[in-house]
Amino acid sequence: MQHIAIIMDGNRRWALNNKLQTVMMGHKKGAESVKKSIQWCLDNKVKYLSLYTFSLENMKRTEEEKSGIWSIMVDAIKEETDDLVREGVSIKFLGDQSLFPDLLCKKIEHVEKKTSEGQKLHVQAMFFYGGQQEIVHVVKSLADKVKEGKILSDDITLDTVKESLWTADIPDPEIVIRSGGFSRMSNFLTFQTAYSELFFLDVLWPDFNESHLNDCVKKFDMIQRNFGQ
């Protein structure tokens, strides 16, 4: 098992179900599940963990909620960076970087640089990310290279497409887990999950824990994967 990807869904519903004052309390609780998932991957020697942190569709949320999410992320980066370095964890934020909030850009650059030498676990925070938009980015990038004479159209292969993805150099996930009770991918790693095993869980993200990861991996281990052959 090299790579687990997670769609972290259910923070707002968890806050409402627990009659909390604001949905932001659900997002804060969800951050604890992120820590548990990172630690589980370290304990089980999983090399890559991709987390659907903020989708392009999430931009439609209220300014208040988005600002609250940025604040939680800033606090988490401040609090967790040293621990990530000590544990050998590297973190990268992958997505449409032109949309990253100014408030976060320096913080993101700082945590990426400080954790860059981590080799035990590589965490990808999919941020301002959309799988379809990533494919559009690839198409435009390769079209520009053809136009500039850097490559021929016949040079475009599966490998050249993969090399142009935001996730270049990261293996495709064997497992995708979605919390929250919905059975859809929501524009997550559209290209990379062609042969991933999908697990849709009824648990809301703040209630997600190590036992859910254990269950999914056990089920995965029982699957005979033939990749369409």
In a domain, 36, yes or no: yes
Domain range for 48: 3-130+170-221
In the residue annotation, 215 being an active-site residue is answered as: no
Q: Is residue 124 part of a domain?
A: yes
Q: Per-residue pLDDT for 102 more than 90?
A: no
Give the CATH number of the domain where residue 118 resides: 3.40.1180.10
pLDDT-derived band at 229 (thresholds 50, 70, 90) equals low
Does some domain include residue 41? yes
Q: How does pLDDT run across 107-130, given as a tens digit for each residue? A: 999 999 999 999 999 999 999 999
Instruction: Please say if the pLDDT value at position 201 is more than 80.
Output: yes
pLDDT of residue 136: 97
The domain total for the chain is 1
pTM above 0.75, yes or no: yes
**Catalytic residue flag (residue 96):** no
Residue 150 lies in a domain: no
Percent of the chain with pLDDT over 70: 99
Catalytic entry in 44, 58, 187, 209: 58
**pLDDT given at position 39:** 97
Q: Judge whether 29 lies within some domain.
A: yes
* Residue 164 lies inside a defined structural domain of this protein: no
DSSP string, 84-102: HHHHTEEEEEES-GGGS-H
Does residue 99 lie in a domain region?
A: yes
In a domain, 43, yes or no: yes
Do 134 and 191 meet the contact criterion of CB atoms below 8 Å apart? Answer: yes
pLDDT score of 73: 87
First vs last C-alpha separation in the chain:
21
